Structure 1
Amino acid sequence: MDRGDEPYTGAGAFRVRDALAEGATRARLTRRDLQAPLHGVRAPGQVPVETVEAVAVVLRRDQFVSHVSAARLWAAPVPRRFDDGPVHVSSLGTAPVMRRPQVTGHRARGDVTLGAVRGIRVSAPGRAWFECASLLTQEELVVLGDALVGPDGPATIDDLARAVVPGARAARAARAALDHVRSGVESPMETRFRLGVVDAGFPEPEVNVDVTDAAGAFLGRVDLAWPVLRIGLEYDGDHHRDRTTFQHDKRRSNGFAVNGWIIIHATSADAHRPAVVFERLRQAFVQRRLEGRHA
Structure 2
Amino acid sequence: MSPSPDPLASLPGPVFSLGEARAAGFRAARVRRRGLAVPARGVRRRRDASPSSVAFAAALARRDRRLVVSHATAARAWGMWLPQALEDTVHVTRGAGGAWPRIAGVTGHSTQVPPEHVRTVTDATGTWRLTSPAWTWTDLAAVGMTVEELVIAGDALLQRPVRPRPGDLARHPLSHMDELAELVAARGSIRGVRALRQALPQLRGGVDSPQESRLRLGLVASGWPEPEVNPEVPVLTTPDGRVLRHRKPDLAYRRVRLGLEPLDAPWLEEG
* TM-score, with structure 1 as normaliser: 0.72
Relative distance call for 1:55 and 1:199 in structure 2 (3 A) is closer
The equivalent residue for 1:79 is 83
Relative distance call for 1:27 and 1:111 in structure 2 (3 A) is closer
Q: Does 1:220 align with 2:247?
A: yes
State which of 196, 199, 216 in structure 2 corresponds to 1:177: 199
The equivalent residue for 1:67 is 71
In the alignment, the residues of structure 1 paired with residue 6 and residue 212 of structure 2 have an alpha-carbon distance, to the nearest angstrom, of 53
Q: Percent identity?
A: 36
Greater Rg by CA: 1
CA distances 1:244-283 after superposition (whole Å, capped 9, x unpaired): x332xxxxxxxxxxxxxxxxxxxxxxxxxxxxxxxxxxxx
Task: Name the stretch that deviates more: 17-26 or 187-196.
Answer: 17-26
Give structure 1 stretches of 5+ with no counterpart.
Answer: 248-295
Relative distance call for 1:186 and 1:238 in structure 2 (3 A) is closer
Give me the CA root mean square deviation: 2.6
> Counterpart of 2:101 in 1: which secondary structure?
coil
State which of 227, 230, 233 in structure 2 corresponds to 1:211: 233
Relative distance call for 1:228 and 1:48 in structure 2 (3 A) is same
> Counterpart of 2:249 in 1: which secondary structure?
strand
Task: Name the stretch that deviates more: 113-122 or 15-24.
Answer: 15-24
The equivalent residue for 1:155 is 175
Counting only pairs closer than 5 Å after superposition, residues 10-21 of structure 1 correspond to structure 2 as: 10=10, 11-12=12-13, 13-17=15-19, 19=21
In the alignment, the residues of structure 1 paired with residue 154 and residue 6 of structure 2 have an alpha-carbon distance, to the nearest angstrom, of 48
Structure number with greater CO (CA < 8 Å, separation at least 6) is 2
The equivalent residue for 1:189 is 211
- Where does structure 1 differ by over 6 angstroms across 4 or more consecutive aligned residues? none
Give structure 2 stretches of 5+ with no counterpart.
Answer: 161-171
CA displacement at 1:34 relative to structure 2: 4.3
Q: Does 1:7 align with 2:7?
A: yes
CA distances 1:61-87 after superposition (whole Å, capped 9, x unpaired): 3321111111000011111112343x1
CA displacement at 1:32 relative to structure 2: 4.9
> Counterpart of 1:219 in 2: which secondary structure?
strand
State which of 107, 110, 116 in structure 1 corresponds to 2:110: 107
Task: Name the stretch that deviates more: 182-191 or 103-112.
Answer: 103-112
CA contact (8 A) 1:38 1:54 kept: no
Relative distance call for 1:205 and 1:238 in structure 2 (3 A) is closer
